[in-house]
Structure 1
């Protein structure tokens, strides 16, 4: 395919360059940037700002840069009648490299960063797995950017860098231990989940052969079993933290034991101690009453019962309070207080 520049590209597009992008369709494939431009705005941007900054080595593009890339990919795909999952195989980014005067691999990485997950969830083939294993042997020092670039170049399949890394680490790594978790490992996971705030990657480093994804799944399974035992259909963060604290406290993740202990503690907390009204008070009813919380200066009750002052005329109006000196509220029934 003969390389073309921007001017030749626009000539090939003809009147179609003036047509707006089908955003409803594109939103299913890529993350559309907020900055949108008409063709005239886009051409002005490319001729001025983009041309002056495109050679600058920057890992993060501006919103207008992203829109320009999407526009070019869509128009070129329409022109060549190429499906989105065939862009790389059909040489779209190779041609786009000559149009925008940027490296093909650079444009491919930028495009992949815009893709939505559903387009990347294509079933892996055995051939892809074998190629990925060999590339990991070639680059053992976690250089996933280089591995992703070579992988795409060899297979001609679009795979996002994160997708490639997770495929190797969680599925095809020969060092993965695929046996069921032991009781000791489960206990370690539950203890560390609380201490390390569910840092699965950090926990996996302490458990050689166990992936962070498998560790997270094991944790969620245990927590759900405990929640079911204590009749919780849905867990919120507070309830989950409570379960983790019980696991720490009793050093066990056994659902039956923890559910029983949580129930016991709940009963203790919900038990209310009540005090009977003094039998000598001669109140009209003997309801059990739990006093409301009153300021400290009102709730100090004398240790010696004061004598009723019945004969002094000054106190005739207080005879109805038989134990002068106590707060009146202390002797009131629930019904009286509510009224």
Structure 2
């Protein structure tokens, strides 16, 4: 038997409950599940499995494919009916509404929706008020507590921003400890050595370069690589070519594209000169002598005498 709130929800969305979801649009916003259901299957699942799995006596927290489809279906239908943008859902009380419809806590539903969002989803521009709230939350929760920060941030601002977006906003933009000055030559050289030694572990390298974020470090690395590759005529960078460039940087103690190109040119010039000298010397002094076309043959007989300075034996018999 369906709850009264579910019945009211179906009445609000009307005949749209029998229409297919706009999968093409939804796949741009959320990780759309492979498991799909008709409206009749969805209602049966809600009554016989979903509510049983998530009743008060259950500790189930894993989000199954059918659970995802049911939730996305509900949110999409309500958003379409109320003409809501997806970034407005929390602000407009959608998850509070479904707390009663699906009989699950609003915070739980919000977390599940955030986990379904694609990381490339475009959001509204950040406001100064959001930045200030984020700074305060970061001071309240130091360390690697971005999940907690993301939850509180969403409740305080009513704007839906996923955890990665919040972390990157703080680390790359508003953190007062960020060094926003251009990388010095010494920093660039150290960065390239770290990248070679630590296999491009950007977060690990950031710990060794105070004030520099992992994102800025990665961008600086890529910029240096492209400039060097262009200067020494390497096209289409790949892992092998990057390793080659890193070896050059370590060998010649510089990551400046012009200096590296100059060093490589000097080596090539020296090698070319050396080859020319060797070829000239060979032509003048290393002419092979004409040797006999036969090899000395040693004959073993009694009373054999070998005459000196002759390449073959002279035999005398008694």
TM-score bin (small chain)? 0.7 to 0.9
Is the alpha carbon distance of 1:4 and 1:140 closer, same or farther for their aligned partners in structure 2, counting shifts above 3 Å?
farther
Contact 1:120–1:160, Cα closer than 8 Å, also in 2: no
* Pair 1:27-2:27 in alignment: yes
Partner residue in 2 for 1:115: 117
With normalisation by structure 1, the TM-score equals: 0.75
Contact 1:77–1:84, Cα closer than 8 Å, also in 2: yes
Contact 2:252–2:263, Cα closer than 8 Å, also in 1: no
Hey, what's the Cα distance between the residues in 2 that align with 1:32 and 1:90? Answer: 23
* Pair 1:155-2:142 in alignment: no
Is the alpha carbon distance of 1:210 and 1:305 closer, same or farther for their aligned partners in structure 2, counting shifts above 3 Å?
farther
Residue 228 of structure 1: how far off its partner (Å): 1.6
- Report the 3-state secondary structure (helix = DSSP H, G, I; strand = E; otherwise coil) of the residue aligned with 2:230: helix
Decide which moves more: 197-206 or 175-184. 175-184
Hey, what's the Cα distance between the residues in 1 that align with 2:206 and 2:159? Answer: 30
- Report the 3-state secondary structure (helix = DSSP H, G, I; strand = E; otherwise coil) of the residue aligned with 2:126: coil
After TM superposition, list the pairs within 5 Å mapping 1:28-177 onto structure 2: 28-55=28-55, 56-57=58-59, 60-177=62-179
Hey, what's the Cα distance between the residues in 1 that align with 2:246 and 2:124? Answer: 37
Contact 1:17–1:75, Cα closer than 8 Å, also in 2: yes
- Report the 3-state secondary structure (helix = DSSP H, G, I; strand = E; otherwise coil) of the residue aligned with 1:238: helix
Hey, what's the Cα distance between the residues in 2 that align with 1:58 and 1:232? Answer: 54
- Report the 3-state secondary structure (helix = DSSP H, G, I; strand = E; otherwise coil) of the residue aligned with 1:111: helix
Decide which moves more: 18-27 or 189-198. 18-27
Cα deviation digits, residues 56-90 of structure 1 (max 9, x gap): 54554222111111001011223333232221111
Contact 2:87–2:123, Cα closer than 8 Å, also in 1: no
Contact 1:4–1:95, Cα closer than 8 Å, also in 2: no
Partner residue in 2 for 1:242: 244
Instruction: Return the match for 1:193 from 182, 192, 195.
Output: 195
Residue 24 of structure 1: how far off its partner (Å): 2.1
Residue 206 of structure 1: how far off its partner (Å): 0.9
Cα deviation digits, residues 260-306 of structure 1 (max 9, x gap): 3445666859x799999x8678xxxxxxxxxxxxxxxxxxxxxx965
Contact 1:247–1:253, Cα closer than 8 Å, also in 2: yes
- Superposition CA RMSD, Å: 2.9
Contact 1:36–1:67, Cα closer than 8 Å, also in 2: yes
Hey, what's the Cα distance between the residues in 2 that align with 1:307 and 1:77? Answer: 100
Is the alpha carbon distance of 1:144 and 1:308 closer, same or farther for their aligned partners in structure 2, counting shifts above 3 Å?
closer
Partner residue in 2 for 1:216: 218
Contact 1:120–1:159, Cα closer than 8 Å, also in 2: no
Partner residue in 2 for 1:179: 181
Contact 1:30–1:114, Cα closer than 8 Å, also in 2: yes
Partner residue in 2 for 1:252: 254
Partner residue in 2 for 1:307: 294
Is the alpha carbon distance of 1:57 and 1:241 closer, same or farther for their aligned partners in structure 2, counting shifts above 3 Å?
farther
Residue 256 of structure 1: how far off its partner (Å): 2.2
Hey, what's the Cα distance between the residues in 2 that align with 1:167 and 1:60? Answer: 29
Partner residue in 2 for 1:334: none
Is the alpha carbon distance of 1:194 and 1:130 closer, same or farther for their aligned partners in structure 2, counting shifts above 3 Å?
same
